[in-house]
Structure 1
Amino acid sequence: MRSPLPSCSASETGRAVEAALSVDHAGGRSILRRQHVGYPLHVTRGFYLDALRPDLLTLYLQSASGGLYAGDRIALDLAVARDAAFHLTTQAATVVHDRRGIGAVQRQTVNVDTNAFCAITTDPYVLFPGASLALETTAVVAANAVLCVADGFAMHDPRANGRAFAEFSSRLRIVRPDGRLLLQDAGRISGDELHGALGARTASASLVLIAPLDQLPPLQTLQQVADKSGALAGASAAPNEAGIVLRILAPDGGALSRAMDAAFHVAAQAALGVKLARRRK
């Protein structure tokens, strides 16, 4: 799941936040045509970081809050128009606090039009003891468009008292404009289950790349760059010849971030045909 938007409310009922971004292609580059982003969310100015793809717009989505709190409900609506190229990322990891009886939910709807490129890469969510986070994404992707979605989480127990996060769940549904289902991926795990299943590994992520077959990297290459970053990765073909799904396990959030970043750059290079610049954070 996959909205990278944190909220600032620490009240019992949480905060309901809605955001919308619309990206068009005009004048030889991609531009942010429309934005609706209210407090505590903040959108930086757009950056054009890639000399070999000067049309590619990169946007950092920031928060003025201390993370996600109990009861937060966050929604993002993102539309990337025909021929546009867009990368949405976060400025840092997002802390998810104790759910206090009610978890946080982030919902995202994405529409990627003909010949467009859209990447949404979120820095890991840091799950504090008792935290509960549900990520839900629905995307409509044209047949010759590219969508890359990457997100993950890391456990963190700042007081070292042996408490784990309560629950993390993720649901991703991707369809064609005619409604044909390409991929549906869902999972749920508790902190106690994660400890039992993975031992010393406390961080996990997924990268899903939806693209035409000739714009996909070799599975082995994706796995190798993640492994070299200190993680353990496995890649497989997505159903319906839709693309690639990469799973990553790591000993901590730092190793997970490095692996996710390396995998994103391999995926983007295959999809766009050029090597992208590093995104400074």
Structure 2
Amino acid sequence: MRSPLLSCSGSEGRAVDAALSVEYAGGRSMLRRQHVGYPLHVTRGFYLDAARPDLLTLYLQSASGGLYAGDRIGLDLTIGRGAAFHLTTQAATVVHDGRASGAVQRLTMSVEAGAFCAVTNDPYVLFPGAELTLQTTATVADDAVLCVADGFAVHDPRAGGRTFTEFSSRLRIGRPDGQLLLQDAGRVSGDHLHGALGTFAASANLVVIAPPDRLPPAKSLQQAADACGALAGASAAPNGAGLVLRILAPDGGTLSRAMDAAFHVAAETALGVGLARRRK
């Protein structure tokens, strides 16, 4: 989950709580409320898709150079009835040495009746010593669509043989009445990366929650990612909630392209039209 935020450096890290609220009004989706403090920055909204002029696309940016030790970043998203919203990042996020305190990102989403919400992050790039925890919680109405994509790649800029400390994520998705649809948790350390991923150095998950008639065939998601040079596998989510796609890739660039290709397949089925590429 999956959060697309960056934070600025500092010995104590940064504690940031942000909130965005999107509503449908006047024939399009609009950002009705925002509470975003430094170092976060929200661009103006973009309407990039002529066939879906109601779809609001927003890039969430940062004035810093990545995630640092002690960062605690939170984002609350509310997508109102009938709104259509895509939140993405402007580039991959570098995760620096966690220095025993690590970085935590929390994302909470509420997707109301008939709404479409996609949160697709470029991969987190784990530098030596990086320690990142992702905590994602979502409430999704029965007829709404949620698409969440998160992934990581490993990079040692000095080629010194060091690796990241740990990457962990927890995703919990339910209905407004409290029904739990799925819960997914994973953790991997740099020392055990090759045991978990084999020869691959990058990994991602794409989760699509939608009614059955707005889901793509699982095979089409898998083929879209595979065509980019990745190795992907798709399966049904628990409780008939949707689909889960797991992706392995040799590097972050391949992973990013595979994630994007799979997202566009899911979005086209959910919205009924192909979306324009998001320039970055």
Fold-level match, TM-score > 0.5? yes
Deviations 1:148-185 (A, max 9, x none): 00010000001111111000000000010000000100
Q: Secondary structure at the match of 2:193?
A: helix
Taking the TM superposition and a 5 Å limit, the aligned residue runs for 1:113-124 are 113-124=112-123
What's the counterpart of residue 175 of structure 1?
A: 174
Q: Once superposed, what is the RMSD of the aligned Cα atoms?
A: 0.7
1:5 aligns with 2:5: yes
Amino acid at match of 2:234: A
Deviation above 3 Å: which 4+ runs of structure 1?
Answer: none
What's the counterpart of residue 66 of structure 1?
A: 65
What is the deviation of 1:9?
A: 2.4
Q: Distance in 1 between matches of 2:22 and 2:9?
A: 29
Q: Distance in 2 between matches of 1:190 and 1:235?
A: 24
Structure 1: 5+ residue stretches without partners: none
Q: Distance in 2 between matches of 1:129 and 1:9?
A: 16
Taking the TM superposition and a 5 Å limit, the aligned residue runs for 1:186-265 are 186-265=185-264
Deviations 1:227-250 (A, max 9, x none): 010100000000000000000000
Amino acid at match of 1:103: G
What's the counterpart of residue 24 of structure 2?
A: 25
What is the deviation of 1:101?
A: 1.0
Structure 2: 5+ residue stretches without partners: none
What is the deviation of 1:198?
A: 2.5
Q: Secondary structure at the match of 2:157?
A: coil
Q: Which deviates more from structure 2 when the two are superposed, residues 209-218 or residues 186-195?
A: 186-195
Q: Distance in 2 between matches of 1:80 and 1:236?
A: 26
Amino acid at match of 1:171: R
What's the counterpart of residue 151 of structure 1?
A: 150
Calculate the TM-score normalised by the size of structure 2: 0.99
What is the deviation of 1:2?
A: 1.3
Amino acid at match of 2:8: C
What's the counterpart of residue 164 of structure 1?
A: 163
Q: Distance in 2 between matches of 1:216 and 1:193?
A: 34
Amino acid at match of 2:256: S
What's the counterpart of residue 110 of structure 2?
A: 111
Deviations 1:227-280 (A, max 9, x none): 010100000000000000000000000000000000000000011111000000
Q: Distance in 2 between matches of 1:127 and 1:49?
A: 31
Q: Distance in 1 between matches of 2:67 and 2:249?
A: 23
What's the counterpart of residue 95 of structure 1?
A: 94
For the 8 Å contact 2:188–2:196, the answer to whether it is kept is no
How many aligned positions are there?
280
Deviations 1:183-236 (A, max 9, x none): 100000011211233333100000000000000001111001100101000000
Q: Distance in 1 between matches of 2:185 and 2:99?
A: 24
What's the counterpart of residue 41 of structure 1?
A: 40
1:126 aligns with 2:99: no
Q: Distance in 2 between matches of 1:64 and 1:198?
A: 33
What is the deviation of 1:66?
A: 0.5
Calculate the TM-score normalised by the size of structure 1: 0.99
